[in-house]
Amino acid sequence: AQSVTQLDSHVSVSEGTPVLLRCNYSSSYSPSLFWYVQHPNKGLQLLLKYTSAATLVKGINGFEAEFKKSETSFHLTKPSAHMSDAAEYFCVVSARNNAGNMLTFGGGTRLMVKP
Amino acid sequence: ETGVTQSPTHLIKTRGQQVTLRCSSQSGHNTVSWYQQALGQGPQFIFQYYREEENGRGNFPPRFSGLQFPNYSSELNVNALELDDSALYLCASSFKPLPGTNEKLFFGSGTQLSVL
């Protein structure tokens, strides 16, 4: 079984300040972890992916995430928020088994960026 | 743009009706997954098709069914619609060299289904 908990349903930051979106996961298997972003009326876009290589993963648009096995966390960060970062963000886990590429999504965090 | 297109973009149905949603995968992709995203929630896995065979199913009743065609386009069918079926339905395609591999998914923009 696998699950994902996003600890904040809403996060509000000012433009130019750091972003932290928190995620904890649970998985019976060695997990792959992802962050996806969803802008209104657009499809989900992959920001970054962890698959047991480096624990610090760099993604697109300046985002990065750190895998911490001891804390079962995979928090998403960005040093400086931009207005265009305002969107819904999903932390996702995928188990490495033969059940296909089933992704389990967290409930989402809505990021608001104030001017 | 991901190259994954879904139709229609919006749909209104009444309780008890049947609906078919369509997805055109990105060229070269052999796998399609369907997800249901209720308002204010994360997407939930419905099922996946790999080379026209179901390759995994989430916790959805049998009235949710699917097809994948030889050109790898796909349909999601929902019978006996219920009010709780109102959601955004997302299709995602990928290329898997083997059925159990874990490949990057490309999502469409979804079909917004409203059941009245």
Per-residue pLDDT of chain B (116 residues; tens, 9 = 90+): 678 999 999 999 999 999 999 999 988 888 899 999 999 999 999 999 988 888 888 899 999 999 999 888 999 999 999 999 999 999 999 887 776 666 788 999 999 999 99
Interface residues of B toward A, Cβ cutoff 8 Å, are: 2, 4, 31, 33, 35, 40-45, 48, 50, 55-56, 58, 90, 92, 94, 96, 99-110
Of A82, A80, A65, whose CA–CA distance to A23 is shortest?
Answer: A65
Task: Give the model's pLDDT for residue A54.
Answer: 83
Min Cα distance B111 → chain A (Å) is 10
* Rounded average pLDDT over A16-30: 91
Per residue in B77-92, pLDDT (tens digit) is 999 999 999 999 999 9
Identify whether the C-beta of residue A59 lies closer than 8 Å to the C-beta of residue A74. Answer: no
Per residue in A48-107, pLDDT (tens digit) is: 999 877 889 999 999 999 999 899 999 999 999 999 999 999 999 986 554 556 789 999
What's residue A56's pLDDT?
94
The nearest CA of chain A is from the CA of B30 a distance in Å of 13
To the nearest whole angstrom, how far is the Cα of B83 from the nearest Cα of chain A? Answer: 21
End-to-end Cα distance, chain B = 32
